[in-house]
Structure formats: C-alpha cells, structure tokens
A and B are shown apart, each in its own frame.
Chain A
Amino acid sequence: QSALTQPPSASGSPGQSVTISCTGTSSDVGGYNYVSWYQQHPGKAPKLMISEVNKRPSGVPDRFSGSKSGNTASLTVSGLQAEDEADYYCSSYAGSNNLLFGGGTKLTVL
C-alpha cells in the first residue's frame, strides 16, 4: 500500500485559516474513522493533534480541527499563530492491522 497523499506545502498569514488535505482510498481513509494528525517541529518528535478524524486530545488548542469526506481527510488550523509553523502528518488505519502515514505537509506562517 502507498503512503497517503498530502500537499508538500501550505501557508497562511497570522490569524488566517489553512486546511491541509490527506487523500487515501476506500481501503484506508475512506474505510475507517481512524485518521490521526501529528505536528512535528524540526528536530522534535511528532505530537498528536487529532485522533479518530476529529477528536482533540487534552491540551491541543481548539484552533485545530479535523474532518473527513469520502477518501479525503482534512486538518484545519484556524487563527494561525507563529508557533503553528511545522510539518504535519496524517495517518490512517489501512486494514489487516496495517497503518499508513501521509508524506507530510510543511506549514509556513507568512
């Protein structure tokens, strides 16, 4: 199975909203509500931002939200802040006890 497809880059100005997509197939993203999103700053371990499509772990700002339509999941960051500049990765359960990650999206705050 191939990695999930994410745009290489995204950008927005402080205060704006930006949406990052994650496209898979009916065998992974479209088949299960098991999509997660991770934020990774340079040299750091990833941090869980969204689980099960749209659940926010404790401590994650409500500026971060997740959704899914068909085979595409999305992460929206509202009210962009400088500290949101990072790489973002989606992941999905792909059936048969297999997990896939997306290729990652570099978010730039202009």
Chain B
Amino acid sequence: QVQLQESGPGLVKPSQTLSLTCTVSGGSISSGSYHWSWIRQPAGKGLEWIGRIHTSGSTNYKPSLKSRLTILLDTSKNQFSLELSSVTAADTAVYYCASSRYGSGNAFDIWGQGTMVTVSS
C-alpha cells in the first residue's frame, strides 16, 4: 500500500522560496506509470491543482504558476519535491501531494495528509 508524506518548513517569508518534499513509501516512485502531483488548499477554500511530474520526469504546471514553479523527482530517495519562488501571502495554504495512475483519467487515488505552509514575515 503506497503512502505519501509531505514535509518542509511551516513558515516562509514573503519573496522567498517555498520548498516541500513528498516521500513515497510502500512502493517505488519510479515503477509503473504515475503522475505525482501537488495540490493546495487555502484555509476555508477549495482545492487547487498546482502541477505534477511523471515517472519519466516530464512535468506539467498550472499556467498561472508556471513562472514560479519547479517540481523535481528524486528516485534515489523515493521522493518528489515542490519549489515555489517569490511567495506572497496568497500562497498560504495546506499543501498536499497526491498520485494518479497514468490512464486513470487524472484521478488522485492516493493523498498525503497535507502540510500547512504560512507565508508571513
């Protein structure tokens, strides 16, 4: 049973870079054909898909975030990561990592528990 766990700083200063890691356990991040995504949710608001990386290493980003976003795959550590630069208060949210099997219609069947990130000085 694959499980996902987010980790990273809970507080980031404005204009700095937000960095999070998602650790995959119970399976190999490089086996099969999966998309590994980041999704966020501001307090009391809805879900927002941020971007994803395929097992092959190819990435897709939400157009409005593309200029600030980098998602990387580290197969040696069984992890994938998120880097969001030039953050503002609008980036404050619970950040989830999630996976979807390629060909499943982009359905996120496994989620991490989420990690709260606050952007504040």
Query: Which residues of the other chain, B, contact A65 by a CB distance below 8 angstroms?
Result: none
Distance in angstroms between the alpha carbons of A34 and B111 in the assembled complex: 18
Among the 9-residue stretches B45-53, B73-81, B84-92, the one with 4 or more Cβ atoms under 8 Å from chain A is B45-53
Task: Convert A1-21 into 0s and 1s, putting 1 for each residue whose CB lies closer than 8 angstroms to a CB of B.
Answer: 101000000000000000000
Interface residues on A, range: 20 to 34
Binding site for B on A (CB under 8 A): 1, 3, 32-36, 38, 45-48, 51-52, 55, 57, 89, 91, 93, 97-104
Q: Is the CB of A46 within 8 A of B46?
A: no
- Mostly, the B contact residues are loop
Q: Is the CB of A38 within 8 A of B108?
A: yes
Q: Is the CB of B47 within 8 A of A89?
A: yes
Query: Which residues of the other chain, A, contact B104 by a CB distance below 8 angstroms?
Result: 51-52
Query: Which residues of the other chain, A, contact B111 by a CB distance below 8 angstroms?
Result: 45-47
Query: Which residues of the other chain, A, contact B63 by a CB distance below 8 angstroms?
Result: 1, 98
Query: Which residues of the other chain, A, contact B107 by a CB distance below 8 angstroms?
Result: 36, 48, 51-52, 57
Q: Is the CB of A104 within 8 A of B47?
A: yes
User: Do A102 and B46 form a contact, CB below 8 Å, given A45-B113, A45-B114, A97-B60?
Assistant: yes
The answer to whether B14 has its CB under 8 Å from any CB of chain A is no
Task: Tell which of B37, B46, B108 touches A36, judged by Cβ atoms closer than 8 Å.
Answer: B108
